[in-house]
Chains A and B, each alone.
Chain A
Amino acid sequence: MNFDYHALLPEIILASTVMLVLVTDLLPVKKYWAAVVGIIGTSAALVPLLTLTFCDSLDFCEATGARSMFSGTYVVDSFSLVLKGLFLVVALVVLLMSIGYLEGGRFWQGEYYFLLLASVLGAVVMASSRDFISMFVGLELVTGPTFLMAGWRKGDDRSNEAALKYFIIGVISAAILLFGISLVYGVTGQLRFADVAAAIAVRGESPLLTIGVIFTILGFAFKVSAAPFHFWTPDTYEGAPTPVTAYLAVGSKAAGFVGLLTVAYVAFGSTRGLWAGLIWVLAATSMTLGNVVALKQTNIVRMLGYSSIAQGGFMLVPFGALAGADVTPDMLQKAFFATVTYVLIYAAMNLGAFATIIAISNRIKSGEIRALAGLGVYAPGLAGLLAIFFFSLAGIPPVAGWFAKLAMFNSAIGSGSGWGLALAIIAALNAVVAFAYYGKIVKSAWFDAVPDDVSDAMKADTKVAPSLMLALGITFVGTIAFGVFPSLVTGLSEFASSLSSGL
């Protein structure tokens, strides 16, 4: 047994923070202190991530490359470091968004921060898991607390509906995933991803293995809400408290992608023929369905729900594009690069979009797109942020979204196969459709006349909670910086584009 405490330090700090937040909730202090403890703990967990990343240039740190623990089931490599960093920063921003939201209503607060951080701990564990058991435990730790958080507005029927739907779909997807895993285990007799890959290479493909692989991939497809497994997404996003929706759309979704990528490439790498076509179909349907249905939405959060389905489709494109291609390690790396780039940029801009919507709906007390009319006249700051984040989601330079799309198209066309080109064309058409509904929001905010029902009080109320302001600031800087200096994000995603199998 070898324990690399340095490599495990982020998890240890985060787990202690989860406990401390619960203790803080029990102390006779103001409830927001639980959030403060959470923010301090999450920031502290980022420190060992940095020391691990820059291990080569630090005196006290012994550079060993990928650190493999627990007989190869838990690996801290560059991929997991970058993704853990992403999850922790997402947690920080969501915590900041939540403080004002929870203070402004009748909510249980301590438990909320406890559950949020527990879910983030699951995501952090997932990024390092290299066997089916720890991957599944991590995944359940991500989703379990979010079922409760989706229903946090206890008095609201929609919130209850959101939680119930999410719970049922979450349980079904866990069952499908476990069914797939059990078949794979039955055929190969192995749980570690590297062993599974080796066993598949020896035994070859069989009908039972095919079913196992496809069910495992589909289990993750539910988690990333890829169409046609998306139907829980709009209802849950609309009903859940908006900060929770932001976490579901970014943190939980990124965790699903991490699971999908590691399982698909480390465990099922040699059976690419079985699932690459599946991912092609998932990518194409997610983009098309998400974008087309988003066009008709009148509620802004619901529209962002469909938009996140579509964005999930874009993230799948680099891997779907490899369907018909002879894959070289170089192309695989490019696909990893494109997807990680997309996930990082999507996190910044989508969190920003949700933070802006929280700030706006505090002011106009409505989640309807119509109600945004005239926002540019009486709240130019918020309307400006809205324009920046939505243009970024649409993919217009110089804000970050364009670079995510560029990397995605680059990888899809670079695959050189007809399937890749076809998917790139579908993605291009969808990017145009997406511009219509993102643009509609911005047009409504800037060019429509101020409706009569906007009271003077609403116009005068310029107060935005300081924590929300900070969240807006972080995502704004991220969105602008990633767009103007794409080298910031390419540095990270190039670092992350090699996955260690742990053996």
Chain B
Amino acid sequence: MSNYFGDYVTVAVFLLIGAVVVGGGVIAAKMLQPNNPTALKSQVYECGIEPIGSGWSQSHVRYYIFALLFLIFDVEAIFIFPWAVNLETFANAGFGVFILVEMFIFIAILVLGLVYAVRKGVLTWE
């Protein structure tokens, strides 16, 4: 078991080196840089454009539901890609129809989620 924890010593050493590199860089910059702030310099950097308004902008809570609906289809896509890649292998092994039907069941369940959202009026913006 000692070599198991031995592996963690390596991790700890790397953690230490990482901390020294990052922390050392920040401290060295702090010591070397001239400190001369002006109002223009302390502005928030926004791709060179002058920032407008406050950093705390509010977005409508409805976007949350859109995000959820987006997630449904995002997840669907994640599953469909490996499925499509492997379909041929499965078809050669004689499971083609089974795997095809499985995917349609999966899509039907997700579509039911969308139908539910539409019927409950989630997509109408009032």
Please say whether chains A and B are actual partners in one complex: yes
Interface residue ranges, A against B (CB under 8 Å): 1, 19, 22-23, 25-26, 206-208
B1 and A208 contact, CB distance less than 8 A: yes
Can you list 15 A-B contacts (CB < 8 A)? Answer: A1-B95, A19-B109, A19-B112, A22-B112, A22-B116, A23-B112, A25-B116, A26-B115, A26-B116, A26-B119, A206-B1, A206-B4, A207-B1, A208-B1, A208-B4
In whole Å, how far is B87's beta carbon from the nearest beta carbon of chain A? 15
Contact with A along B113-124 (1 / 0, CB 8 A): 001100100000
**For B109, what are the chain A residues with a Cβ–Cβ distance below 8 Å?**
19
Distance, CA A23 to CA B111, complexed state (A): 11
* Central interface residue in A1, A25, A206, A207, by most chain B CB within 10 Å: A1
Distance, CA A19 to CA B119, complexed state (A): 15
In whole Å, how far is B83's beta carbon from the nearest beta carbon of chain A? 15
**For A23, what are the chain B residues with a Cβ–Cβ distance below 8 Å?**
112
Further 9 A-B residue pairs, CB within 8 A, beyond A19-B112, A22-B116, A206-B4: A1-B95, A19-B109, A23-B112, A25-B116, A26-B116, A26-B119, A207-B1, A208-B1, A208-B4
- Listed from nearest, the 7 A-B pairs whose CB atoms lie closest are A26-B119, A206-B1, A22-B116, A19-B112, A22-B112, A26-B116, A1-B95
Distance, CA A206 to CA B4, complexed state (A): 11
**For B116, what are the chain A residues with a Cβ–Cβ distance below 8 Å?**
22, 25-26
Distance, CA A1 to CA B116, complexed state (A): 34
**For A25, what are the chain B residues with a Cβ–Cβ distance below 8 Å?**
116
Distance, CA A1 to CA B89, complexed state (A): 14
Contact with A along B86-97 (1 / 0, CB 8 A): 000000000100
In whole Å, how far is B72's beta carbon from the nearest beta carbon of chain A? 14
* Central interface residue in B1, B4, B112, B119, by most chain A CB within 10 Å: B1
Distance, CA A26 to CA B121, complexed state (A): 11
**For B95, what are the chain A residues with a Cβ–Cβ distance below 8 Å?**
1
Distance, CA A132 to CA B109, complexed state (A): 25
Distance, CA A207 to CA B115, complexed state (A): 51
In whole Å, how far is B102's beta carbon from the nearest beta carbon of chain A? 11
In whole Å, how far is B32's beta carbon from the nearest beta carbon of chain A? 43
**For A208, what are the chain B residues with a Cβ–Cβ distance below 8 Å?**
1, 4
**Taking CB as reference atom, which chain A residue is nearest B120?**
A26
**For A206, what are the chain B residues with a Cβ–Cβ distance below 8 Å?**
1, 4
Distance, CA A161 to CA B61, complexed state (A): 22
In whole Å, how far is A428's beta carbon from the nearest beta carbon of chain B? 43
Distance, CA A23 to CA B114, complexed state (A): 12
Distance, CA A25 to CA B116, complexed state (A): 9
* Central interface residue in A22, A25, A208, by most chain B CB within 10 Å: A22
